Structures are given as structure tokens and as C-alpha cells.
Amino acid sequence: MSRKLLALALSVPSIALADPASKVALVSDPFYEVVREAAEISGSRLVGLTAYGATASKSSGIDVSARIPSEWKGGPVCLKVASADGLYESLNTYRVADDWLGGSSPLQYPSKNAEKVRAISGELISAILLRGDCASATGEAAPVFWGDEQYGVLRLLLNTSRAEETLLSFPAHDEFAEVACSPISSAARNAFDTACQLPEEIGRLERVEVVALSFKNGEMGREEHMVLFPGGEPGDDN
């Protein structure tokens, strides 16, 4: 994440922008995003939890929704979006209504660079919703559904510093085999470089702990423990 972008996000007051009836309201004002000429390397290991559909067919705007657990009600959440090459990034805080029952919700995404963002291939976009505001978001993550047509598989997107191999395991679910992740099919992989396709069964769980382990130059890296709230496929608005 860009230090400049984070500093800007922390220095500007948050003001609710969504319709008062909305259950998940955008509170960042202005909407924070940056289009760079030179890439910045991401410092985060967990970058995305994303399923994508087509975006190029829309004449304006970008459809974004998220599956949000009921226990996140009454609090802030942080939406992070980045392109694999690191040239595009956004970072915005939303607030979940006190009476949220859990489920899927559209998220306002008033990008001023919608045409450029729509031109990015879906497989090269990462998006993730983290519990907490963007200044103090936790490691708990919910999936983001990017695009306006039928979604593909849910993928975990990681920055492994160009690891040669990355494996996912699920400590509390012995019934699930390890997942072998794959490198992103792009030469420019500054924000994230690895995609892990989550099994369909895991996509139906409310909560799951995931451990990522990468190998580089024959050496094993540190384990990364993540708590995900897949919650199933996006449904009707709450």
C-alpha cells in the first residue's frame, strides 16, 4: 500500500456518501485511488480475496459487491483494490449498519478512472474487504465480487516475493487437501504474484483459517495465517 495514499486516507474526515437506506455506506470522502506511472511493490502478503466477472461491457462505473458476515455489523470495513502491476490502487472505508444480518451488499465505487480500471483484465485485479477501518484493519477478510456478470471461482491473491511454490492448508478441516497456488500470468507482478483457487466447499463456509507457506530457492518461508469469511456466493442485498 502506498504511504502517500494511506496518509491521505488518514488526514481527511470521513463523511457518509451512500443513500441513508444503504446497509453498507461509503464513508471515505473523497474516494481514494491512485493511478501511477511507476509501480510500487506491495508490502502486504494477503492482497486479495476475489471472484471476478466481466467489467468491460459497462458504459460507466464498476460493479463491486462483498459478502459480509453478520458479526461485522455496526463497524467499519476497508475495501482494498489493486492491479497486479501496482499501477492502480484504491483504499476506502465503509460502515456496516447496526442491524446488518449478514449476506451480500453492493459497494459504492465512484472511481474517477473507471475506463482505465475496466480495461484491466479481471484476473489481474485484486480486491479484499478487511474488518476495521483502513487505518487499523484486522487480518479478518471477506470476499469481494468484481464485475457485472457471472462470477468465476473465488481466489486468494498473495504477494510471495516471487516464490517458486506456494501451498495453502486448512488446519481445522482435514477433509480438504492442500491447494497448490499458481503464479499470475503477467510479467509485471508488483502488487501480487500468486493466485490460489479456493475449493468450492470452502467458499460455502462462514469462517475458515488458512495457512499459506511459500518456498523460494529451495528454502521454506514463514507461515502466513489468515482468517477468511467466504460466506458463500453473493446473493440478494441484506
DSSP sequence for 142-192 = E-EEESSS-----EEEE--SS-SEEEEE-TT-TTSPPEE-EE-S-S--SS-
Percent of the chain clearing pLDDT 90 (strictly above): 63
Type of residue found at 78: C
- pTM, two decimals, is 0.86
User: Are 201 and 176 contacting, i.e. CB atoms less than 8 angstroms apart?
Assistant: yes
H, E, C per residue of 193-236: CEEEECCCCHHHCCCEEEEEEEEECCEECCCEEEEECCCCCCCC
Residue 237 falls inside a structural domain = no
Cell of 174: 482435514
Residue of higher predicted confidence among 189 and 80: 80
20: pLDDT strictly greater than 50: no
Residues 110, 130: Cα–Cα separation, whole Å: 19
Residues 78, 203: Cα–Cα separation, whole Å: 21
Q: Which residues of 223-234 are buried (b: 16+ CB within 10 A; e: fewer)?
A: ebebebbbbeeb
Residue 233 falls inside a structural domain = no
Residue 127 falls inside a structural domain = yes
Residue 238 falls inside a structural domain = no
Range of the domain at 220: 3-228
Tens digits of residue pLDDT in 33-92 = 999 987 676 678 999 999 998 765 455 689 999 999 999 999 999 999 999 999 999 999
Residue 235 falls inside a structural domain = no
Type of residue found at 234: P
Residue 236 falls inside a structural domain = no
Residues 225, 238: Cα–Cα separation, whole Å: 30
Residue 234 falls inside a structural domain = no
Residue 44: per-residue pLDDT: 81
Residue 237: per-residue pLDDT: 53
Residue 54 falls inside a structural domain = yes
User: Are 63 and 106 contacting, i.e. CB atoms less than 8 angstroms apart?
Assistant: yes
List, in sequence order, every residue forming a beta bridge with 108; answer none if it has no partner: none
Query: Which DSSP category does 34 fall into?
Result: E
Residue 190: per-residue pLDDT: 87
Residues 224, 193: Cα–Cα separation, whole Å: 16
Question: What is the total count of domains within the chain?
Answer: 1
Across 37-41, 112-116, 191-195, least confident range: 37-41
Name the residue with cell 456518501.
17
